[in-house]
């Protein structure tokens, strides 16, 4: 497709190569392939049940694929080896839990280690730096369970980033956020991707909040994926083939609507040129 | 009150309080209060069985509480934890009922298993209690961070290579150990109330997890000491005082938290800022 330059292998952070997953007799993912490079911001778009969480779990090494493999930084994915930042979906932190935002961020650094953390200046400075990087320094001492959804999201992003991963995965981080927090989280992640050269892969139902900042789209439907830039993927022909029936991609005020339609009807035809400027908006 | 056999009482009660404060912190954090209730109550049946066949009650306690912990962990893997816990408890209590029906002279011994015998602890009970207590505390300290991470959100732990199921099993075994250690001394009902009241009170007072755990130990010790003194003075059962003081601490903690919320409601510090 339209890669600006051929891949430099040291630049490639994530390679998903022909992943298929069968769970309890059902094919959840079929031959999914895409790759991400350092500093790229990618949206994993799909409706409920499209296989987004399963794909993220495969990349994390928590679900074994039936076929295909995942390479992270050019190395084959070892099971449960860590090294990938992860923010799970449906964050619900217990407001009764005695845990401050800074404690949770610190657990991102060494939460898998034995023993209790010894107070150290460098550890404290790192936590402080991370809180600042996500704009959470004002509520570093607050109990995480009492923070708003957007604030908890920031703290968990700091938790995921503090160990310095090259890849950050977020499962539906925009669900249940109000529009303002949604925009804040998206622009925070876009900034982190560029500044820290982290590849960010974020799953979402909705493509539109991500359009201004997204470098790549991985569009999942019924377990199959199409990937590329938004202008390459979010097109009537590509998505119709992916869904296996005719859908229309309609552009309204710089937003994209994917509408199920009937192939025999003229509908609202969208030319290739129509979709392209949207994706280039950033 | 501080002489002779009472020295053993104070020593053992203090050890039990430390263990209850440390282990209880995670019991409350993980929402495992029902397990912490079911294991000692069920293990009591093991003690009854052991005394029936003439074996040391500690063996019966250990076998039943470990079997109970493993059963809860195993059954709870695929199902709901509360159902698994209830089933395990029912199974153990059923056996306990059978053992008691066979026993001829059970009343005082069973009573002390349920409510403890804090005021009659012999010197040779101190060493095993101290050893088991040390094992429990070290076990929690070693696993502190992974346990914390898995308790906050299992998915976060999984992503960092912490297996929630193993952590769960590990923690259940620690609860079982704490139970076996404390039950003959303070009774099935007392250890449970010590594991819940003080940590629940501590976490309403502070947002710092390490401070909360330390405070939980301090409150547990205060509770036990006050209860023994009150029991010594009044001749009322220790269990009564521990239960009452534990509940009072929890109520006071909740009251403190509510008061603090209203006080800083419009201020610029602490949790209110979060909103």
Domain boundaries, chain B: 5-195
Burial (CB < 10 A; 0-12, 13-18, 19+), residue B252, is middle
Q: B5-195: what CATH class?
A: mainly alpha
Closest CA to A1 of A279, A282, A248, A195: A279
A88–B157 C-beta distance less than 8 A: no
Closest CA to A140 of A180, A103, A185: A103
pLDDT value at position B275? 37
B29–A148 C-beta distance less than 8 A: no
Cβ contacts (< 8 Å) between B163 and chain A: which residues?
80
d(CA B273, CA A147): 9
Q: What is the pLDDT of residues B142-162, one digit of tens each?
A: 999 999 999 998 888 888 888
B209–A139 C-beta distance less than 8 A: no
User: If contacts are CB pairs under 8 Å, which of residues 48-87 in chain A contact chain B?
Assistant: 60, 62, 80-82, 84-86
d(CA B50, CA B48): 5
pLDDT value at position B157? 86
A146–B274 C-beta distance less than 8 A: yes
User: If contacts are CB pairs under 8 Å, which of residues 136-165 in chain A contact chain B?
Assistant: 138-139, 141-143, 146-148, 151, 156, 159-160
Q: Which two tokens stand for residue A282?
A: 């950033």
Which of A84, A110, A148 shows the shortest C-beta gap to B145? A110
d(CA B60, CA B183): 11
Longest CA span, chain B: 66
Q: What is the pLDDT of residues B242-256, one digit of tens each?
A: 889 989 998 998 898
Q: Which two tokens stand for residue B222?
A: 């205060």
d(CA A180, CA A30): 36
Sequence spans of domains, chain A: 91-164
pLDDT value at position A4? 47
Reply yes or no on whether the pLDDT at B267 is more than 50: no
pLDDT by residue for chain A (282 residues), tens digit each?
Answer: 444 444 445 688 899 998 999 988 888 999 999 999 999 999 999 888 888 999 999 998 888 899 999 988 877 776 555 578 999 987 888 899 999 999 999 999 888 888 887 888 888 999 999 999 899 999 999 999 999 888 999 999 999 999 888 899 999 998 878 888 889 899 999 999 998 889 999 999 888 889 888 999 998 988 888 888 888 888 888 888 888 888 888 888 878 888 887 655 554 444 443 333 333 333
Average pLDDT, chain B: 85
pLDDT value at position B139? 96
B141–A107 C-beta distance less than 8 A: no
Which of A112, A156, A160 shows the shortest C-beta gap to B146? A112
A172 interface with B at CB cutoff 8 Å: no
A100 interface with B at CB cutoff 8 Å: yes
Which residue pairs from A113-121 have beta carbons closer than 8 angstroms and sit at least 24 positions apart in sequence? A113/B145, A113/B146, A114/B142, A114/B143, A114/B145, A114/B146, A115/B141, A115/B142, A115/B144, A115/B145, A116/B141, A116/B144, A116/B145, A116/B210, A117/B145
Confidence of residue B1 (pLDDT cuts 50, 70, 90): low
Q: What is the pLDDT of residues B31-45, one digit of tens each?
A: 888 999 899 888 888
Q: H or E element: which one contains A256?
A: strand A255-260
d(CA B177, CA B65): 8
pLDDT value at position A281? 32
Q: Is the ipTM of this complex over 0.90?
A: no
Residues B211 and B74: beta-carbon distance below 8 Å:
no
Please, what is the Cα angle at B180 between B174 and B186, to 5 degrees? 115
Residues A60 and A18: beta-carbon distance below 8 Å:
no
């Amino acid at each position: 497709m339209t890669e600006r330059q051929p891949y430099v292998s040291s630049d490639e952070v994530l390679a998903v190569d022909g992943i298929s997953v069968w769970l309890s007799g059902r094919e959840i993912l079929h031959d999914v392939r895409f790759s991400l490079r350092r500093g790229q911001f990618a949206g994993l778009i799909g409706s409920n049940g499209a296989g987004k969480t399963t794909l993220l779990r495969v990349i994390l090494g928590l679900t074994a694929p039936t076929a295909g493999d995942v390479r992270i930084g050019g190395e084959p994915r070892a099971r449960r080896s860590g090294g990938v930042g992860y923010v799970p979906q449906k964050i619900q932190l217990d407001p009764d839990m005695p845990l401050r935002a800074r404690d949770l961020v610190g657990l991102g650094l060494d939460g898998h280690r034995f023993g209790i953390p010894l107070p150290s200046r460098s550890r404290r400075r790192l936590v402080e730096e991370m809180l600042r990087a996500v704009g959470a320094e004002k509520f570093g001492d607050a109990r995480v369970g009492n923070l708003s959804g957007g604030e908890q999201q920031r703290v968990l992003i700091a938790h995921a980033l503090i160990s310095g991963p090259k890849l950050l995965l977020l499962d539906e981080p925009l669900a249940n956020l109000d529009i303002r927090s949604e925009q804040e989280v998206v622009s925070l992640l876009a900034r982190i991707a560029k500044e820290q050269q982290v590849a960010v892969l974020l799953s979402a139902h909705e493509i539109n909040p991500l359009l201004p900042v997204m470098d790549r789209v991985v569009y999942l439907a019924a377990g199959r994926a199409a990937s590329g830039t938004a202008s390459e993927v979010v097109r009537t022909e590509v998505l119709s083939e992916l869904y296996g029936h005719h859908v229309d991609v309609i552009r309204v005020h710089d937003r994209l609507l994917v509408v199920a339609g009937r192939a025999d009807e003229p509908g609202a035809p969208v030319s290739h040129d129509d979709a392209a400027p949207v994706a280039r908006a950033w | 009150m501080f002489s002779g056999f009472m020295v053993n009482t104070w020593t053992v009660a203090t050890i039990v309080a430390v263990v209850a404060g440390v282990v209880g912190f995670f019991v409350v954090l993980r929402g495992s209060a029902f397990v912490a209730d079911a294991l000692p109550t069920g293990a009591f049946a093991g003690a009854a069985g052991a005394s029936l066949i003439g074996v040391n009650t500690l063996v019966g306690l250990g076998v039943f509480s470990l079997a109970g912990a493993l059963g809860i962990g195993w059954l709870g893997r695929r199902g709901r934890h509360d159902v698994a816990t209830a089933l395990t408890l029912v199974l153990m209590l059923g056996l306990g009922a059978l053992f008691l029906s066979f026993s001829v002279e059970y009343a005082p011994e069973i009573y002390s298993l349920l409510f403890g015998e804090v005021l009659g602890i012999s010197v040779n009970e101190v060493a095993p209690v101290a050893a088991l207590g040390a094992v429990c505390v070290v076990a929690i300290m070693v696993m502190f961070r992974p346990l914390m991470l898995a308790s906050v959100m299992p998915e976060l732990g999984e992503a960092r290579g912490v297996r929630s199921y193993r952590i769960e099993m590990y923690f259940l075994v620690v609860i079982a150990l704490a139970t076996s250690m404390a039950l003959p001394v303070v009774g099935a009902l007392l250890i449970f109330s010590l594991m819940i009241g003080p940590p629940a009170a501590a976490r309403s007072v502070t947002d710092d997890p390490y401070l909360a755990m330390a405070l939980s130990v301090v409150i547990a010790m205060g509770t036990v000491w006050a209860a023994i003194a009150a029991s010594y003075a009044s001749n009322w059962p220790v269990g009564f005082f521990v239960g009452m003081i534990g509940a009072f601490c929890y109520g006071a903690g909740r009251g403190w938290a509510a008061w603090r919320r209203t006080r800083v409601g419009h201020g610029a510090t602490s949790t209110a800022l979060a909103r």
